[in-house]
Structure 1
Amino acid sequence: MIGEARPGDSPRAPRRRRLSRSAEFERVYRQGRSKANRYMILYVFPRVSDSPARDDEGPRLGLSVSRRVGRAVTRTHVKRIVREAFWAEAARLSHAADYVVVARPDAGPLADREGLNGIRPALAELVDEVGVRRTPSEPPS
């Protein structure tokens, strides 16, 4: 039916939970920490703000999937799966941080072949390695 959610559909992240400006991406790339594996690079930049409300917004995600990953359909598929895997991991992440995931060319075939079952463990491994976790004082998302 029209407007009916299908299994596996996740609502779009609110605008305040996404990185969209070039300057935001640049700050994360230049000042953040990074970890990489064969499929993606995860950059993390802890946000510092004077406003506690800003920190309660939760983690923010930016994605970069270049043409080297594949054609438009493959890139869109990779983005959708990475988004879903990221938000599944969001409860473990620091709410006061910005994250950028850069997909590498091997992410395309992995997403096509294994879908979420391939991307989620790869992303979880990077989250564990980078070590930015939610503190006990932060509310769950």
Structure 2
Amino acid sequence: MRETPQRRNRLSRSRDFDAVYRRGHSTSTRYLVLHAFPREPPDVELEQPSRLGLAVPRSVGNAVVRNRVKRQLRATWDELAVLARPGRDYVLVARPGLAEPADTRGHEWLVERVTEILEKSGLEKADA
């Protein structure tokens, strides 16, 4: 499988998720929880793009629903990644109520929810 630039900017290892959960800071809204952790070393922060990991628990729905939510969140993040501070790892956790509104209200609604949690966390870029 070829590695695309977007794929390279994703968290996939369990230890990366654990580091973000244990040492990062979290912010939550009704539909999402965002965990963020600055990567080392901080002096090269501007050169490193932000990386995203997704967690969609079983309480969100069956496998079909969870995979659809993951696809929607990935597409939303790819669009909004320019708003996130570089040099950080993010884990976006879906809450059980997310699946149905994301399907019925569409992509724009999901973009608003992710933008909302980035703003609430204070982790968007200062110049964005």
Per the alignment, residue 64 of structure 1 pairs with 55
Contact (CA 8 Å) 2:36, 2:90: kept in 1 or not?
yes
What is aligned with 1:31?
Answer: 23
Q: Which has the higher helix share?
A: 2
Question: What are structure 1's unaligned runs of at least 5 residues?
Answer: 1-10
Flag as ranges the 4+ runs of structure 1 deviating above 6 A. Answer: none
- CA offsets, 1:33-65, max 9 Å, x none? 11111111011111121773x752301000001
Residue 31 to residue 43, structure 1, CA distance change in 2 (3 Å)? same
Identity within the alignment, % = 37
Q: How does 1:122-133 map to 2 (within 5 A)?
A: 122-133=113-124
For structure 2, list consecutive stretches of 5 or more residues without a partner in the other structure.
Answer: none
Tell me the C-alpha RMSD between the 2 structures: 2.1
Q: CA deviation at 1:122?
A: 0.9
d(CA) in 1 for partners of 2:10, 2:79: 15
AA of the residue aligned to 1:95: P
* TM-score, L = length of structure 1: 0.79
- The TM-score, its normalising length taken from structure 2, stands at 0.86
Q: Please identify the structure whose Cα radius of gyration is greater.
A: 1
Question: In structure 2, do the counterparts of structure 1 residues 98 and 113 end up closer, same or farther at CA, with 3 Å as the change threshold?
Answer: same
Q: 1:96 aligns with which of 74, 82, 87?
A: 87
Partners of 1:24 and 1:55 in 2: CA distance: 20
Count of residue pairs the alignment pairs up: 125
Would the alpha carbon gap of residues 135 and 49 (structure 1) be closer, same or farther in structure 2, given more than 3 Å must change? farther
Q: Are the counterparts in 2 of residues 69 and 105 from structure 1 also a CA contact under 8 Å?
A: yes
Structure-2 residue corresponding to 1:86:
77
CA separation in 1, counterparts of 2:115 and 2:42?
30
Equivalent residue for 2:100? Answer: 109
2: CA distance between counterparts of 1:122 and 1:50? Answer: 28
